[in-house]
Amino acid sequence: MLVCLRGLIVSMSEKYGLVNNGLIVFDDSTGLIEDVRRWDERDLVRCDLIEGDEHSIVMPGLINTHTHAPMLLLQGLGAGLTGFDWLRRIWCVEGLLKPEHIYLSAKASILLMLENGITTFADHYFYEEEVARAVEELGVRGVLAKSVIEYSEHAPKHTIEESVSFATNYNKVANGRIRTMIGVHAMYSCSTETLLKAVESSEKYDIRIHMHFSESLHELEYIKSKYGVTPTSLARRLGILKTKPLLAHATYLSDEDIKTLSEHEVYVAYSPFTIMSWGQDIARVGELIEGGVTVSLATDGPVTDGDLSLFKQMKLAIAAQSSRYRTPSRLHPKEVLEMVTKKAAKSLGIEDLVGVLEPGKKADIVVLKPPKTRVVGLYDDPYTTIVYNLGDESVSDVYVDGRKKVSDKAPLGIDVENLREKLTDTRTELLDEAAICGK
């Protein structure tokens, strides 16, 4: 069936740009976009189904480049803590998690992300097979990594071999909607032996590494005292920077570190809310971008960022970078939108599939129907209006792979009430058990 979406097309594509009163045509059986152009009355005959209207905004599905979807069950824990204190508390509770918790919680996070217009997410956690199961069932796109943590007494233990095995076994399953990476929690939580094995496997199997990187002052001080160098220097020494890694946070960087990262093909996932609310510094994103590093936006997990909103991260990224560099123009709204679409797709290595609306790309699409009072300046500057004025409440319809997942703000094909009940019961049981972890 040929599905046609009307509206202001914000394609994020260099070729198609913005199309006022435009039309996206896609085939819901192949999931591929066939056309991007101006609306024409004759389309009334050509399209099997026409949705949207001249007031809708049609843009690529948003891409979240770093999260831990199964952590939704732990929301509220770790409040008021930062760095290693936060980790000790969370790792203890994570030690109680069972695969069924992961599946349930991942489903709830995916649902929340869909409601917020997020159609692809890069995940990093234990028992990642359960996240894959949820991705397959709910029909979204995921770039998944099974995370290895060694220096935690409690957190479930996976070996680097298991992480690599997950990455090779699950790549391109779910009709190609799942892609994989090797998951290393961080350099401070894994041995150099494991980190070297991750690099070796990355090169051997051509699978990239997804890891936390120089996220907190605790990490910076720990790495410096243990290895005598900064996290960036250590990553270079271990060969990590040669593997095109996806690095979450990159908060603490010296001038020399920024130069080093700029000389390598690395991808930084920037989560301003998590890091700033942890009481950590504002990352030097403006300088990384100037140095040629591809930076995308991410929510991080739903414990440090409960609403999994990329609209929120876009606003915060502009505010944080403007404040850091004392100028309102270090990040432009269009650039920030690229950081959740085009650049995010590139960061995850799926730019051949998604990130822009163009013929031949997958129909991962978000239709926004914002309150009228928020779009007064829309046609003067759509990018600024979307980033500054709109939020998750504007997301009306969401398509992944040509299939409708959210219709008029309501998720399709999932019993939300049943999921909520199960989550609530499971969390109550889990928190009873977690009393051993203290406050």
Among residues 207, 312, 195, 298, the alpha carbon closest in space to that of 250 is found at 298
Among residues 321, 303, 379, 312, the alpha carbon closest in space to that of 340 is found at 312
- State in angstroms the smallest separation of the CB of 246 from Zn ion: 11
| CB of 51 or CB of 300, closer to Zn ion | 300
- State in angstroms the smallest separation of the CB of 231 from Zn ion: 15
Q: Extract the tokens encoding 294.
A: 């591809």
- State in angstroms the smallest separation of the CB of 48 from Zn ion: 42
C-alpha–C-alpha distance, residues 217 and 36, integer Å: 47
| CB of 125 or CB of 311, closer to Zn ion | 125
| CB of 122 or CB of 430, closer to Zn ion | 122
Instruction: Count the alpha carbons within 13 Å of 362 in the hemisphere toward its beta carbon.
Output: 25
- Cα angle 337, 343, 345 (rounded to 5 degrees) comes to 110
- State in angstroms the smallest separation of the CB of 185 from Zn ion: 9
Helix (H) or strand (E) holding 269: strand 267-270
C-alpha–C-alpha distance, residues 267 and 213, integer Å: 11
| CB of 36 or CB of 69, closer to Zn ion | 69
CB 83 within 8 A of CB 219: yes
Strand 2-10 and strand 18-27: the pairing is antiparallel
Among residues 60, 48, 238, 210, the alpha carbon closest in space to that of 145 is found at 210
| CB of 219 or CB of 300, closer to Zn ion | 300
Number of residues this chain uses to bind Zn ion (CB under 5 A): 1
- State in angstroms the smallest separation of the CB of 247 from Zn ion: 11
Which residue lies nearest Zn ion, judged by its C-beta? 300
- State in angstroms the smallest separation of the CB of 130 from Zn ion: 18
- State in angstroms the smallest separation of the CB of 366 from Zn ion: 24
* 215 is an interface residue for Zn ion by CB under 5 A: no
**How far is CA 367 from each of CA 7, 206, 259, rounded to the nearest angstrom?**
8, 35, 40
Provide the 10 A C-beta neighbour count for residue 82: 17
According to CB under 5 A, which residues from 290 to 329 bind Zn ion? 300
Tokens 């009709």: give the residue: 175
C-alpha–C-alpha distance, residues 183 and 192, integer Å: 15
| CB of 300 or CB of 392, closer to Zn ion | 300
C-alpha–C-alpha distance, residues 339 and 322, integer Å: 16
Which backbone phi and psi does 173 adopt, to 5 degrees?
-80, 180
- State in angstroms the smallest separation of the CB of 300 from Zn ion: 5
According to CB under 5 A, which residues from 380 to 399 bind Zn ion? none
| CB of 39 or CB of 126, closer to Zn ion | 126
| CB of 130 or CB of 300, closer to Zn ion | 300
- State in angstroms the smallest separation of the CB of 71 from Zn ion: 9
Cβ-defined contacts of 22-26 (< 8 Å, 24+): 22/58, 24/58, 24/357, 24/363, 24/365, 26/2, 26/363, 26/365, 26/399, 26/402
According to CB under 5 A, which residues from 45 to 104 bind Zn ion? none
| CB of 69 or CB of 356, closer to Zn ion | 69
According to CB under 5 A, which residues from 336 to 355 bind Zn ion? none
Q: What are the residues binding Zn ion (CB under 5 A)?
A: 300
